[in-house]
Amino acid sequence: MRELACDVAVIGAGTAGIAAYRAATEAGAHAVLIERGPGGTTCARVGCMPSKLLIAAATAAHAARNTDLFGVRVSEVAVDGPAVLARLRAERDRFVGSVFEGLEDLPEEARIRGSARFLDGQTLAVGQEMRVRFRTAIIATGSSPTVPKPLRGLGDRLLTTDTLFEIPDLPDSLAILGAGAVGIEIAQAMSRLGVAVTVLDAGDTIAGLSEPSLTRQAAEIFGAELDLHRGATLENAEPEGEGVRLDWTDRHGCGQVMRAARVLAAAGRTPNLDDLDLAAAGLRLGEDGVPDFDHSTLLCAGAPILIAGDADAWRPVLHEASRQGRIAGANAAALAAGRPVEAVTPWTRLAMVFTQPQAAAIGAPYAPDTDDCVIGTMDFSGQGRARVEGHNQGGLRIWADRDGRLMGGEMLGPAVEHLAHLLTYAVADGLTAQDVMDRPIYHPTVEEALTTALADISRTKNKC
C-alpha cells in the first residue's frame, strides 16, 4: 500500500480543481491533484464549447435561409450533418487539448490518477493501492447529466450532453427533456439544422427566465421554431421500432404520446459526490446530498474540507468555477498552515443562454412580491439597431431599489451577452440607473436599449 502525505489534496482536475491546485501551490502549500478521468474540463469537453459550435452551425444555416428581409435571395440551403458534427468534434478536441497542455507543466508526482473516497476527515483512499493523508482537502469533482428515471432504460437511444456530440449524424427527430439553458440552446440549434424537435418541461420558466412577460415572449419565439410544451410531465419512455415512444401528461392533465428517433436528457446536472463517502469525512450534508458550506469561504461544516465548482451545485458556470477554485485553493493553503481563511464576497450573479435571441439573468432574482423596488422595461421591437439587423425580438427588465440603485434584471434579445456584462458591472459597483445613464453610449448600437430601460426606472412606480 503506497502512502502519501500532503498539505492539500484536490479531488478533481476540471476548471475548479486546476485553479484550486495552482492557488494552493502559489500560497506555498504542498498540493496534489487527484483525477479519475476523463479530464479536459466539462466546459471544453461536453459543455460550453461544443454546444456553441453546434449553435454556430445552426446560426449559419438559419441566416442563409432568412435573407429575404434584406432583399437577398438564396435559392437553397443544405445541411451536411456529418460535416457539422465533424467540425464540432475537431474544434472541441482542440479546446480540450489546450486544457491538457496546461496540465503538462504540473509536476508528475503531484498528479494522482484514480477514484478517491474519504476514509476519515484527514485521509483519502485512491483506488485500492494508495492512501493520501492531508491537512485539508478540496472537493472539485464536477457534475454529471441528470437522467430522469423514465429515460434510464433506453440504451443508446438516450442522449446526454456527455454523448450528444459523439453521434455520427444528426437524427431525424429529437425529444428534449428540459427547457433550461442547455435544453433550449440545443433544441433551437437542432431545429435550425433540420431536426424535428419537441421539448418537454415540467415548469413554466424557459431559458433561465422567470419574469412573466419575458418568459411569455421566449415561449412564443422558441415555440415558433420547435414544438414546445411547458407544464408537461413525462410518465414513461420505451424503445419502439428504431426510435422511442414517450408518454406524457400536459398541463391540463391530458395524456399525450410522442415519438422521436432519440431523446436528450437536459434536465440539469448532478454533483459527482456519491462515491466520495462524505459521511466518513464528518461532513454535514443538506437534503440534496451536498455538504453544508460557507459561500464566502467555501469551507464545509464538520471538517477542514472545502468545495468548489459544479460539485457545490451553487453557481455551475465556468467563471464561477474558476474563481471558486482559486478561493478554495488559497483558503486550503491557509488552513494547512494554521492561518485563518479569508471570506470573499461572492460575485454578482450572471447567467446566460446563447439562443437567438439570447437570454440572461443578472444579480438579484425577480421577486414579484417585493415592495421596495421599481422595474424598468424596454421592448426590442422598435429598437433602432435591432431593427436594422432584423433581430428585433425580446426585451429588457431591470430592477432597482426605490433610490434607483440597480439590483439586477433579466434580458431576452440581441447582443444580450454584452448588455448583461454592462449591467452586471453596474450592479457590482453599486451604481444607480442615473449613474449609468450619465456615461456615453454610442449610436446606433444595441447598448442604447439599456438607456431606455434605465430611464424607465426613473419614471416608473411599478412594483417588481
Q: Which residue in 36, 122, 133, 126 sits closest to 305, CA to CA?
A: 122
173-177 vs 158-159, strand pairing mode: unpaired
Cell triple for 179: 427547457
User: Which whole number is the average pLDDT over 1-29?
Assistant: 95
Q: Is 455 helix (H, G, I), strand (E, B) or coil?
A: helix
List alpha helices for 260-317, DSSP H.
none
Judge residue 83's burial from the number of C-beta atoms within 10 Å of its C-beta, 0-12 exposed, 13-18 middle, 19 or more buried: exposed
308 and 217 in a common domain: no
Q: Give me the CATH number covering residue 404.
A: 3.30.390.30
* Overall size of the chain counted in residues: 464
Q: Does some domain include residue 35?
A: yes
Q: For residue 239, say if its preceding peptide bond is cis, omega within 30 degrees of 0.
A: no
Q: Which amino acid is at 157?
A: R
- Residue 171 and residue 250 in one domain: yes
Candidates 65, 2, 30, 121; CA nearest to 390 is 65
Asked whether the beta carbons of 425 and 362 are under 8 A apart, the reply is no
Say what the pLDDT of residue 371 is: 75
Give dist(CA 54, CA 155) in Å, integer: 24
Q: Domain check: are 256 and 320 in the same one?
A: no
* Structural domain includes residue 120: yes
Among the candidates 290, 308, 336, a domain finishes at: 336
Rounded CA separation 50/90 (Å): 10
CA distances from 235 to 151, 248, 458 (A): 10, 5, 48
Domain assignment present for 77 = no
Residue 344 lies in a domain: no
Of 120, 125, 140, 114, nearest in space to 271 by CA: 140
Give the span between the Cα atoms of 180 and 361, in whole angstroms. Answer: 12
112 falls within a domain: yes
Q: Is residue 75 part of a domain?
A: no
Residue 119 shares a structural domain with residue 18? yes
Q: Is 155 left (phi over 0), alpha (psi -120 to 50) or beta?
A: left
**Dihedral, CA of residue 3, residue 9, residue 12 and residue 14, to nearest 10:** -130
Residue 198, pLDDT > 80, answer: yes
39: pLDDT confidence band, cut at 50, 70 and 90?
A: low
Residue 291 and residue 166 share a domain: no
Look up cell 495552482; give the residue. Answer: 22
pLDDT at 425 over 60: yes
Residue 127 in grid coordinates: 483506488
> Is residue 38 pLDDT above 80, yes or no?
no
Q: How far apart are CA 457 and CA 38, in angstroms?
A: 49
Please enumerate in sequence order all residues whose Cβ is within 8 A of that of 385, keeping only pairs 6 or more positions apart, or say none. 414, 444, 445, 446, 448
Q: Looking at the structure, do residues 284 and 383 belong to the same domain, yes or no?
A: no
- Helical H segments across 372-432, by residue range: 384-389, 416-428
Q: What is the pLDDT of residues 390-415, one digit of tens each?
A: 999 999 999 999 999 999 999 999 99
The domain of 169 spans: 149-268
In a domain, 158, yes or no: yes
| Total domains present in the chain | 3
Cα separation, 406 vs 399, in Å, equals: 6
Same domain, 106 and 210: no
- 155-164 tens-digit pLDDT: 999 999 999 9
1-10, 29-38, 92-101: which has the minimum mean pLDDT? Answer: 92-101
Would the pLDDT of 102 be above 60? yes
431 located within any domain: yes
Asked if 222 and 169 sit in the same domain, the reply is yes
**Confidence bin at 77 (pLDDT 50/70/90):** very high
CB of 311 within 8 A of CB of 273? yes
**What is the pLDDT confidence band of residue 125, given thresholds at 50, 70 and 90?**
very high
Per the prediction, the chain carries an average pLDDT of: 94
Q: What are the residues whose beta carbons fall under 8 Å from the beta carbon of 326, sequence distance 6 or more?
A: 19, 20, 22, 23
Query: Average pLDDT of 271-275?
Result: 95
Supply the CATH number for residue 51's domain: 3.50.50.60
Q: Are residues 175 and 95 in the same domain?
A: no
| Domain shared by 8 and 127, yes or no | yes
d(CA 464, CA 344) in angstroms, rounded, equals 29
Helix axis angle, 81-103 relative to 48-65, nearest 10°?
Answer: 150
Residues 81-84: contacts with CB under 8 Å, at least 24 apart: 81/169, 81/170, 81/193, 81/194, 82/168, 82/169, 84/54, 84/57, 84/170, 84/193
Angle, nearest 10°, between helix axes 15-26 and 318-336?
30
Residues 172, 298: one domain? no
Q: Which of 252, 268, 284 is at the close of a domain?
A: 268
Residue that terminates a domain, selected from 336, 363, 389: 336
Q: What is the pLDDT of residues 314-336, one digit of tens each?
A: 999 999 999 999 999 999 999 99
> In the 8-state DSSP scheme, what is residue 357?
S
What predicted TM-score, i.e. pTM, was given to this entire model?
0.94
Does residue 138 sit in the same domain as residue 154? no
Give CA–CA dist 229/217, Å, rounded: 14
